[in-house]
Every structure is written in C-alpha cells, then in structure tokens.
Amino acid sequence: MTLPLSLTDEEAALVADAQFFRKKERISAKVRAQLDATYAGLTEELGRISLITPPGFNARAHQFVKGEQLEFFPYQYLDYPKHFDGGNKFAFRTLFWWGHHLACALILEGDGIKQYKKHIVDRFHQVAGQELELSLAPTLWEWKRGEGYTLPITHDRKAQIASVLAERRFIKIVRFVPMTDPRLQAGLLSELSRETFRAMLPIVTA
C-alpha cells in the first residue's frame, strides 16, 4: 500500500510540537535510570544465589538496548543475566515497550532445558499464581500477550502447562505489567523486575 506524501493537519501539528519530543526524551531518560536501578538490584540478587547455567555463562554479562521499531513502537530493555551463545540461551529481560506493557521474561534454550522443564513441573506450585505466563509463540522474540500468545501459569493448569512444555525446544516465562499500573508511574520498575526474577528462581536453581 502506498502512503500519501502529504501530512494531515494532526500529523503536521505533531511534528511541529517540540514539547512532545522533549517529553519523550525525558521519559526515555527516566526509564533508563529505572533500568540502571534494575541492574543494580539484580546484581544484588545474583550475588546470593546459585543458578543452573549453560557452559561459558558469565554472571557479569549484560546489555542495555534502546530502539524505535518494535512493531512500530519505541522500546528499552535490560538483559541481565545475559547468555546468548548459539543454541544456548539463558537470559532475563526487562523490557519497557512503549504503548504496550512492561515485560519481564526468563529466556531458556539449549543445555539444561530438560532440567528446567522438570523443575517447572516438580515445583509447579512454587511458580504458579504469581502473574507469570508461558509463551506459546514459535519464537522467543514475540512480546504480545493473550490468547494464542501466552498461557497464564495458574495452580489449576499444571497438566496443561506440562503438556505444552513437553513439545517445546525453548522456554519463555513472562510477567506483563500494564503501563497504567501505578507502580510504574511511581518509578518501581526495578522492584517489579526483581520480584519477578525471584518468582522464577525455582526454575533455574538447584
């Protein structure tokens, strides 16, 4: 489809609104500061636990990323811990997706996947009931939620979750927090991320 070259009145007013762009940059800076606090908080968490990790895992590896085009929307995220090595993946991503939600996700693939699946089933009631959802997408990089995308991990779904896990070559467990959540407005992104990380620990600890 070919887009018209001319701008609508609304579009022209928007690109001329310098305050809009200043506000966007100010919000981006606040989100980055909250991700910095998340990194500090997760560093504290990782210092007191022992994880089941793939070969070559570096507990200090992390990355901050900022972009404009995640399905046409800006995004900022922290990967920590971060291990992406070929078919082996072990990461916790805290993703602030403008216009959508905060997503805190545990990403697992490759070595250890059988043990992680076993832990989810054996420790199911430690993990269930904490606003976590199992991704059903055919890729690790889908960030939408809802029917066809995710399955809530609730106490009554143990058999269903176990059946879905048995067929999957990777695991992605996500907690979604709407942008309207007052905790995000209050600057508590770091606390939300740490809380989610702790909820997922039974999956990846001995």
61 in Cβ contact with 82 (< 8 Å)? yes
**Total number of domains in the chain:** 1
What's the domain range around 145? 9-204
127 falls within a domain: yes
25 falls within a domain: yes
* Tokens matching residue 137: 């997408």
What whole-number distance in Å separates Cα of residue 189 and Cα of residue 199? Answer: 15
> Which residues are CB-contacts of 59 (< 8 A; sequence separation ≥ 6)?
46, 51, 53, 81
Displacement of CA 193 from its chain's centroid (Å): 9
45 in Cβ contact with 197 (< 8 Å)? yes
3 falls within a domain: no
Query: Does the global pTM surpass 0.85?
Result: yes
31 falls within a domain: yes
1 falls within a domain: no
CATH of residue 13's domain is: 3.30.930
What is the DSSP code (8-state) at residue 187?
A: T
Listed in sequence order, the DSSP H helices in the chain are 9-15, 18-46, 113-122, 124-127, 158-166, 182-185, 189-204
2 falls within a domain: no
Question: Over the stretch 110-123, which tens digit does the pLDDT of each residue have?
Answer: 999 999 999 999 99
Question: Over the stretch 47-62, which tens digit does the pLDDT of each residue have?
Answer: 999 999 999 999 999 9
pLDDT mean over 59-83: 97
Model confidence band, residue 142 (pLDDT cutoffs 50, 70, 90): very high
